[in-house]
Chain A
Amino acid sequence: MENEENAENGEVLVKPPTLSASDRLAAKKRFRTQRRLSTMKNKVLRNAQWATLKKEKRKVKKEGQKQRKKEAEALGDKAPPKQIPRTIENTREADITTVDHDDEEVTFDITHDEYESYFSKTYVPKILITSSDNPHSKTIHFIRELTKIFPSSECQWRKRSSVKKMIQSAKEKNYTDVVVINEDRRVPNGMLVSHLPDGPTAYFKISNVKLTKDMKYKNIIKEFTTHRPEVILNNFQTRLGQAVSRMLASLFHYDPQFKGRRAVTFHNQRDYIFFRHHRYEFKSQKRAALRELGPRFTLRLKWLQKGTFDTIEGDYEWIIAGKRHEMETSRRRFFL
């Protein structure tokens, strides 16, 4: 009966079957050896014992798998549904701010934020990209590549101006977004994105930057075209995630040129946003081939502010700097 219910949901985890007496005994023995391991002082012997213990465990697991497979084949259609492995995504702590696309109020809230004008196609984004003072070569290359990725973006060097003043002058020159790449130890390590007419500001930590010239294919820079790319935003589940995804999407032109077959992806997994840039080709209706161009990096949101950049008096919507003990309460809790 339980299995039938589960067959309907498909998502519910199936409890493993109860053990026989001999199995239970073996499990007890394994537990006792594991406890004993911690008291063995000799590292070599301890490691050897651990290796044998692991072998045994693996053997038991494989046998269990075989058994289950046999049973499933024997039963045919009536077989119990496959056990779903427990993953972090499966066991993620439920968040009250998870966006439910059917909820009208929520979708109304989301669509009527500061990016409404972008999504109603009233303007074309114009981005100003800068760095911190004295950028080194890696940062410079990174910024140059970003100017190729964001359509209608311009790079200007920071000549010791403060962010607030820069935002002021950018507003006067009709920019819609400002992106500042922060540098540390000769490597880009932070990205500040600020939407200009009083838009939200977000600061991301950048890691694992891989430039185009370090990509697998040589001279892939020649495959860059100036077609406007299309944006893929994956797996942003909460309200905060939606806000961030809209912010990132609004850096690109609202009207992509599908002829160019360029796709820019922001994929959120466990609060890490992976950025990828691909050229795709549909081989058939079931398969698409991807070739990675362009840089790749990961972002991690550090804080999100309501207005433009103002760290002292700003209105923070979300910040994790001083609040790790309150916010990171469990390993299954994610915010985006």
Chain B
Amino acid sequence: MTMYILIIVWSIINKSFCSYKVNTKTQRFCRNEYNLTGLCNRSACPLANSQYATVREEDGNCFLYMKTVERSGFPRNMWEKVKLSKSLEKALRQINEYLIYWPGFIKQKCKQRLLKISQYLIRMRKLRLRRQKKLVPIQRKQERRERRREEKALVAARLDSAIEKELLERLKRGTYGDIYNFPQVAFNKALEEEEDAEVNMEGEDYGEDEENEGEEAEEEIDEELEKELEEESENEEIEYVEADSDLERELESESDMEDIEPKATTSVKDNTRRKPRLEIEYETETLSKNAKRTV
């Protein structure tokens, strides 16, 4: 009797409609959760076979589901669920034990399925131990906004001029020490100013004279004096700048400051006499204690 039912069931399912059937170009799949192979076949259809078994996995445990003829009238209790052992060997033996006298196809497929499941469980456990790449979803609007704002910030930044300004400021502050001999510009300017104005011993001119004196290296001045004069020139630059660098403070020694005054008085007259035939030699080597500068 049941045989006829199954034949009818299969003819309907196969030919016309089965809600679990999925048709593709080359294959027919069965979406039924108890299906052993996943394909739509006469031998693999759980609806068209009264005696059927599957292996399914839940939370890392494998279960053997069995369906027999006796229970075909009770859909609620149709599937018998048996928990298989976690070790593959024991589980295979359990399958053999439960499915003894069952058709070979079902036994074979159940064992194959158990094998596959246990393999992927092992791989999942290994992956969990390793570091996994965290996939962060891209928020399109955020990305777009950020890109646009970056462009605008770049325009507002005016990088080249900002960098140039900073470098020039550092030059003025004297972080570069003696590497650049720029005070010549100020020196020339000071010369011109002296030509126009009378020789005054006011504060500003005093400072300029000291600078002039710093750059000059005439025959009469010894090397030692030259060095001290160069130190002075650095110090002059420092005097005009505000509280910034602690370094220059360290390097400024009081002895240098003392030396400036007496020399200044003599130099003024010398400058006015020497102006027409002025030769400027620059000392290129730096002193040891000026060599170290931080950023």
Contacts and interface: CB of A to CB of B under 8 A. Distances in A.
B168 A286 contact: yes
Given A207-B150, A232-B163, A265-B166, 7 more contacts: A207-B146, A274-B153, A274-B157, A278-B163, A280-B164, A287-B168, A324-B142
Contacts of B153: 269-272, 274
B149 interface: yes
A108 interface: no
B171 interface: yes
Interface residues on A, range: 35 or more
Interface string B170-185: 0110011101101001
Contacts of A177: none
B241 to A, nearest CB: 14
Contact of A256 (B152, B154, B166, B295): B295
Given A121-B294, A284-B185, A263 B163 contact: yes
B95 to A, nearest CB: 37
Given A87-B156, A274-B157, A207 B162 contact: no
A82 B152 CA distance: 25
A285 B177 contact: no
A256 B159 CA distance: 21
B225 interface: no
Contacts of A89: 156
Interface of B: 130-131, 142, 146-147, 149-150, 152-154, 156-157, 159-160, 162-164, 166-168, 171-172, 175-177, 179-180, 182, 185-186, 292-295
14 contacts: A121-B294, A230-B295, A254-B294, A256-B294, A263-B163, A265-B159, A265-B166, A267-B159, A272-B153, A274-B157, A284-B182, A286-B168, A288-B167, A300-B150
Given A258-B293, A284-B182, A234 B160 contact: no
B interface SS class: helix
B180 A282 contact: yes
A327 interface: no
Given A282-B171, A282-B180, A290 B293 contact: no
Contact of A267 (B147, B162, B179, B180): B162
A255 interface: yes
A231 B167 CA distance: 10
B154 A162 contact: no
A237 interface: no
A162 B160 contact: no
A234 B162 contact: yes
Contact of B163 (A259, A265, A324): A265
A231 B164 contact: no
Contacts of A51: none
Contact of A280 (B167, B179, B186, B294): B167
A280 B182 CA distance: 15
B157 to A, nearest CB: 4
Contacts of B157: 267, 269, 274
